[in-house]
Amino acid sequence: MANRHLQRSVAMQSLFEWDFQGCRNDEIDGIIERNVREFAPGIENFEFVENLVKGALENRAAIDALIEKCAPEWPLAQVTVIDRNVLRLGIYELMFGNYNEVPPKVAINEAIELAKTFGGESSARFVNGVLGTIYREMGEPMKDDTSKNHKKPEKSEKKEKKKEKAD
């Protein structure tokens, strides 16, 4: 399992435990440390886990409001604890994350993978639907990004580059 994916899994498990035990913010550091030791013992720098969990919690009011807006038929209290916390992580990365480190589509795909791993039968579809709605409402940032391995240039772009070299 890739390092970032493993750390997202630990972050989700930490948020799940925090939520399941009554949402006590004073316990989150201990929860994170214990979960890193238990589920990712080889990881020495778990700053990514801490940033995800604490960022999701710091922005929880805005994130939870988005979940309720994008899934109006599901009051937040009725969303499963797993799905609710996978969405919190995914929305945090999508809305507040650094796109140079984690592009929006990667954040969405990672959340879907967490939902498939930890959630129920329809969790991945539910998470995909909510995050897809938010992504579209954001104006689909980086949709046409051609940097690195995101997308190959169109033929017209290739022709323009050849023309520039010839000039």
Q: Give the per-residue pLDDT at 84.
A: 92
Q: Give the per-residue pLDDT at 146.
A: 52
* 4-60 pLDDT, tens digit each: 889 999 999 999 999 888 877 788 889 999 999 988 888 888 888 999 999 999 999
Report the alpha-carbon distance of residue 122 to residue 90 in Å, rounded: 17
> Which amino acid, one-letter code, is at 147?
S
User: Which pTM value belongs to this model?
Assistant: 0.79
Query: Does the structure show a pLDDT above 50 at 93?
Result: yes
Report the alpha-carbon distance of residue 37 to residue 112 in Å, rounded: 25
Q: Which residue has the tokens 């967490």?
A: 114
Q: Give the per-residue pLDDT at 156.
A: 45
Query: Does the structure show a pLDDT above 60 at 162?
Result: no
List C-alpha distances in Å: 33 to 12, 47, 140. Answer: 13, 11, 35
Query: Does the structure show a pLDDT above 50 at 125?
Result: yes
Q: Give the per-residue pLDDT at 55.
A: 94
By percentage, how much of the chain surpasses pLDDT 90? 42
Tokens for 127, please give them: 């998470």
Report the alpha-carbon distance of residue 72 to residue 23 in Å, rounded: 23
Average pLDDT of the residues in 84-95: 93
Q: Please report which confidence band the pLDDT of residue 141 belongs to, taking 50, 70 and 90 as the band edges.
A: low
User: Please, what are the domains in the chain?
Assistant: 3-166 (1.10.940.10)
